[in-house]
């Protein structure tokens, strides 16, 4: 359980730097700060995935809440307008906890209000519940002061929904096209502001309906302004619900794209608690609080695509990316003992292989997938290998994956999109002018920040690993001719790699080679030449690579993307899009890289007790981080320089996955 007292909740700067996240297994989510003040265009109580896991629409942005006691109105909400926070409900907030979902505590005139927010699994639904109790007096002398007995007409909770109905990347502004008509049934109110978007249903526990509707204008989103984006929005309020709290201890609202019954709230809550507990209990070492938190975090990225599963790369703004999915798969599914999900993901992505390539990403609007990646496809081999190693499920790999993998190798040897092909040396060339194909893929307009065209070091490591995986599979499936061919190609790649990639002067590997150009930039990409299951390097060279990476790139939160002594080094990931993308892979720390680094470190140190203890100490740095930024989650990136402020997505799949995978590897006996 993550929790904060009034010192944090009442400190707006501290409260706004901490964000909560609820997800629904469809790609939809709810999220905001612990003060309930939305600082991003992505903050909302219900972001519905209309084409799971994409087609995400912000329906319910927030609810304006007020407690009315004997005519005195206390606003619980908080909003940023130009130059002012209004209202300032955070001043009544005495606590926040994640247990297992967001719970906000307020105290007003001796009344304690607990608000909880959760999303049931596999529904575009958010349940908001309010529980009330009178604070017990501390002594007999205080009894009169705290023995508040609500009068039937004097104790009211007023809830006024604010809706946006927009793509989650966009912003809403006041317009005359909105349809404010309400469909009113018993304890159910429905609104469909625009004909081409889904209706939003509010099931409520007997509130009195106030049908007055109007626009709230000029909300400001602090994070969007700092990121150089448009940051003002208008929101529409179609009605209000007023609940007489006399004789009640709890009321609630269910906001959903389907019609629900407010009386189901408690059952939905209990079912979701039990589902999450099961996920945690399945995970290895789930009795450890850190592992339990990471297992719960991992579950938030696993979502539906058609009848199968995929992985959301990060919240709030990423969809499912091939590269991120394949890298994250072992940590999110295999280390948490959810092999059936790993199998579903592998099966789903195998259906989208085209010309020997795995999709880079599936667009948010659900259009055809994009294939502008060289490494996602190669990570597919490693994910399949890890799945087979853990499960022994030969039948699935042979039936659904082997022929797809054979076809991928064929296309890579022959040549496919973006000039991806095996060169005469047996190494894998990739790249064209204006295209970014590796994981270092920042691009601003026509500017590819780190083009890395030619022979990128991690691509060669992945290519050799893929050939070796195929050699082993061919042997396993008695495909002798292909086994021999894959072995020849792997050996050819190994010899060429060792001949041209070793930088003796620096004692490590070149980052990228294109003809006679050798890029000696000190980057983390070379760590994969050691960490992958099948390595082309000798023990001595592997050790020197790990030592160089540790010396130049290791931080408490992962590896820098560029050494600090490089002229292109950028210490901070801040500013507008141009500034941020220019720093994205030019020093910025990536949390996910701690996983392959630890694997490589353990390998070159023969998994000694001392190396395992040291690796565990490195991972413990993330314990504190779970209470920063995205609560219970691991951020995408961190500033390159101290204090390594978390940046980017508040929750990143491969960050969580690689920490989980590395922890299991440390605990493993082999």
Domain 2-269 matching CATH 2.70.98: the answer reads yes
Domain 283-667 matching CATH 1.50.10.10: the answer reads yes
Residue 287 has pLDDT above 80, yes or no: no
Cis (ω within 30 of 0) for the bond into 87? yes
Q: How far is CA 508 from the centre of its chain?
A: 32
The count of C-alpha atoms lying within 13 angstroms of the C-alpha of 154, restricted to the half-sphere facing its C-beta, is 8
261-285 per-position pLDDT tens digit = 999 999 999 999 999 999 999 986 5
Higher pLDDT, 238 or 142: 238
* Global pTM value: 0.95
**Nearest C-alpha neighbor of 273 from the set 302, 303, 249, 296:** 296
Q: At CA 537, angle to CA 533 and CA 539, rounded to 5?
A: 95
Q: How far apart are CA 356 and CA 330, in angstroms?
A: 22
**Nearest C-alpha neighbor of 19 from the set 41, 39, 48, 1:** 39
Mean pLDDT of 586-599: 98
Q: Are 197 and 57 in contact (CB under 8 A)?
A: yes
Residue 307 has pLDDT above 90, yes or no: yes
pLDDT of residue 363: 73
Please give the radius of gyration of the chain, using alpha carbons only, rounded to the nearest integer: 27
Q: Are 426 and 492 in contact (CB under 8 A)?
A: yes
Band (102; pLDDT cuts 50, 70, 90)? very high
Mean pLDDT of 562-568: 97
Which residues, in sequence order, are CB contacts of 469 under 8 Å at separation 6+?
Answer: 381, 382, 384, 385, 405, 533, 534
Residue 522 has pLDDT above 60, yes or no: yes
Which residues, in sequence order, are CB contacts of 399 under 8 Å at separation 6+?
Answer: none
Higher pLDDT, 668 or 55: 55
Residue 144 has pLDDT above 70, yes or no: no
Q: How far apart are CA 160 and CA 620, in angstroms?
A: 43
pLDDT of residue 537: 98
567-578 per-position pLDDT tens digit = 999 999 999 989
Mean pLDDT of 590-619: 97
88-100 per-position pLDDT tens digit = 999 999 999 999 9
Q: How far apart are CA 38 and CA 223, in angstroms?
A: 9
Sequence spans of domains, the chain:
2-269, 283-667
Band (152; pLDDT cuts 50, 70, 90)? very low
Mean pLDDT of 580-593: 96
pLDDT of residue 104: 98
Average pLDDT, the chain: 94
Percent over 70 (pLDDT), the chain: 96
Mean pLDDT of 583-608: 97
pLDDT of residue 142: 53
């Amino acid at each position: 359980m993550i929790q904060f007292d009034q010192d944090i909740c009442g400190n707006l700067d501290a409260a706004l730097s901490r964000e909560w996240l609820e997800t629904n297994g469809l790609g939809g989510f709810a999220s905001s700060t612990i003060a309930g003040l939305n600082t991003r265009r992505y903050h909302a109580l219900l972001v519905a995935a209309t084409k799971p896991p994409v087609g995400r629409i912000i329906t319910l942005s927030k609810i304006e809440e007020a407690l009315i006691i004997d005519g005195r109105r206390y606003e619980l909400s908080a909003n940023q307008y130009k130059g002012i926070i209004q209202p300032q409900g955070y001043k009544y907030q005495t606590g926040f906890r994640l247990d297992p979902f967001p719970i906000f505590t307020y105290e007003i005139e001796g009344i304690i209000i607990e608000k909880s927010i959760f999303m049931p699994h596999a529904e575009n639904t958010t349940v908001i519940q309010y529980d009330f109790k009178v604070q017990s007096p501390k002594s007999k002398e205080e009894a009169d002061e705290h023995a508040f007995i609500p009068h039937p007409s004097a104790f009211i909770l007023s809830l006024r929904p604010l809706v946006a109905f927009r793509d989650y990347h966009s912003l809403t502004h006041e317009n005359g096209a909105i349809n404010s008509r309400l469909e009113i049934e018993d304890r159910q109110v429905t609104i469909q502001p625009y004909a081409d978007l889904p209706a939003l249903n509010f099931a409520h526990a007997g509130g009195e309906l106030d049908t007055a509707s109007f626009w709230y204008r000029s909300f400001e989103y602090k994070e969007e302004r700092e990121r150089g984006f448009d940051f003002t929005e208008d929101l529409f309020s179609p009605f209000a619900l007023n609940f007489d709290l006399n004789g009640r201890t709890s009321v609630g609202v269910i906001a959903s794209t389907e019609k629900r019954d407010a009386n189901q709230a408690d059952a939905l809550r209990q079912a979701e608690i039990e589902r999450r507990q099961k996920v945690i209990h399945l995970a290895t070492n789930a009795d450890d609080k850190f592992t339990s938190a990471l297992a719960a975090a991992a579950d938030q990225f696993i979502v539906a695509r058609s009848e199968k599963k995929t992985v959301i790369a990060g919240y709030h703004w990423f969809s499912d990316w091939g590269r991120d999915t394949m890298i994250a798969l072992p940590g999110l599914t295999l280390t948490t003992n959810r092999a059936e999900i790993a199998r579903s993901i592998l099966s789903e992505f195998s259906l989208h292989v085209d010309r020997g390539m795995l999709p880079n990403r599936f667009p948010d609007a659900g259009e055809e997938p994009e294939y502008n990646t060289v490494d996602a496809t190669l990570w597919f081999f490693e994910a399949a290998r890890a799945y087979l190693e853990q499960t022994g499920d030969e039948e699935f790999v042979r039936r659904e994956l082997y022929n797809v993998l054979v076809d991928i190798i064929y296309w890579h040897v022959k040549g496919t999109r973006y000039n991806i092909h095996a060169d005469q040396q047996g190494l894998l060339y990739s790249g064209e002018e204006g295209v970014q194909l590796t994981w270092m893929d920042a691009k601003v307009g026509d500017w590819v920040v780190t083009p890395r065209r030619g022979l990128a070091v991690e691509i060669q490591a992945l290519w050799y690993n893929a050939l070796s995986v195929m050699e082993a599979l061919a042997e396993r499936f008695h495909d002798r001719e292909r086994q021999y061919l894959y072995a020849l190609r792997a050996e050819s790649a190994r010899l060429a790699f060792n001949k041209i990639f070793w930088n003796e002067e620096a004692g490590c590997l070149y980052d990228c080679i294109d003809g006679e150009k050798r890029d000696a930039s000190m980057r983390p990409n070379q760590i994969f030449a050691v960490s992958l299951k099948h390595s082309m390097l000798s023990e001595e060279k592997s050790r020197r690579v790990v030592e160089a990476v540790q010396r130049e790139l290791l931080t408490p939160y992962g590896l820098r993307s560029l050494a600090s002594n490089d002229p292109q080094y950028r210490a901070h990931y801040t500013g507008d899009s141009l500034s941020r993308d220019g720093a994205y892979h030019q020093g910025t720390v990536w949390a996910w890289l701690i996983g392959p680094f630890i694997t490589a470190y353990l390998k070159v140190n023969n998994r000694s007790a001392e190396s395992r203890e040291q690796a565990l100490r490195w991972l413990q740095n993330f314990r504190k981080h779970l209470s920063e930024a995205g609560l219970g989650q691991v951020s995408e990136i961190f500033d390159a320089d101290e204090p390594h402020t978390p940046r980017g997505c508040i929750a990143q799949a491969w960050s969580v996955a690689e920490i989980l995978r590395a922890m299991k590897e440390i605990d493993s006996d082999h």
